Amino acid sequence: MKARYASVKAGFGGEQQLDRIFESYSFPMKHLVLYDLSLTSSTHFQMDTLFITPSYAIIFEVKNMAGKLKVINNPPQLIRTLDNGEVKGFNSPITQVQSNCELLRDWFQARDVYLPIYGAIVLAYSTQRIELFDTEIPFLFPKAVPTYIRNLPADTPLLDDASFKRLGHELVASHREFIPPPISFTYPDIQNKIITGVACPSCGLFGMKKYMKGWHCTACDGTSPDAHKKAIRDWFLLFGGAMKNKDCREFLHIDRQQTANRILNSMNLQTEGANRNRSYSMNLRLKCEKRT
């Protein structure tokens, strides 16, 4: 297992790319964004990102995979070919989105909600290479998502303000969080194979350097004020438990205790102990954003 997440949570970095779009873009319509929402209809299902308005809902499935990707229709499958020639098959993201749309439609109808539901695949980075057959499910890069949303028909709201607010509350209340066990528990032999460091949100490569105002990528010259947030979450998904200052410094490749303290104290982590005995833990819960 060479990648930080292997196949367990490789998409988190990609989801973060989409999160940034929603955090930085202002939509004119009332809307609610739910991340990693897990619901139960005829079966349990999980959506990477649900964007919902009084007129429609959109399920975004995010893919962040290295290599050349090919989506075939018969049988429905995603085939990945790495640069070293290794070929591996995965479940089709199209089938996954279509299934989630059907399950969400059933969940809505059980509550007398009849919103149109759309689905889209988001490729986390524009450097990803993909070959597709002709499909009605759109494949988008994150920066194309706002235009896609704005082009959907939204002239007539199907839910009034009270109904929309009630639906939002019920979605959050119905969430059944799934937190996978720490990856190192499931794969104890990966300790010396984990890629540490901070990944660049622009090019995806590890090894960003800390500077006063944030992080700098020596590979693409990109910068980020908060690229460490993904790395910190990675650590908790990998190892679970509590993080200490030393763990942070080793994982992020930083030298100064004061720098690690500032990073950890800025992230709203749960703390225990004081001074050198202080430890930090993260609540990996549903993220919700609402804008009007």
**Which token pair is 141?**
């890069």
Could you give the domains of the chain?
Answer: 12-178 (3.40.1350), 183-289 (no CATH)
Distance of CA 12 to the CA centre of its chain: 4
Question: Maximum Cα–Cα distance for the chain, whole Å?
Answer: 59
> What integer pLDDT is reported at residue 207 of this predicted model?
92
The C-alpha atoms of residue 166 and residue 155 are separated, in whole angstroms, by 21
Measuring CA to CA, which residue among 256, 259, 203 is closest to residue 228?
259
pLDDT digits (tens, 9 = 90+) for 189-229: 666 778 899 999 888 889 999 998 899 999 999 999 999 99
pLDDT digits (tens, 9 = 90+) for 249-276: 999 999 999 999 999 999 888 888 888 8
Give percent of the chain above pLDDT 70: 86
Distances 115 to 35, 57, 118, 120, 148 between C-alpha atoms, Å: 19, 7, 10, 16, 18
The C-alpha atoms of residue 142 and residue 139 are separated, in whole angstroms, by 10
**Which token pair is 9?**
């949570």
> What integer pLDDT is reported at residue 241 of this predicted model?
82
Q: 3-state class of 29 per DSSP?
A: coil
Contact 253, 196 (CB under 8 A): yes
Q: Is the pLDDT of residue 78 over 50?
A: yes
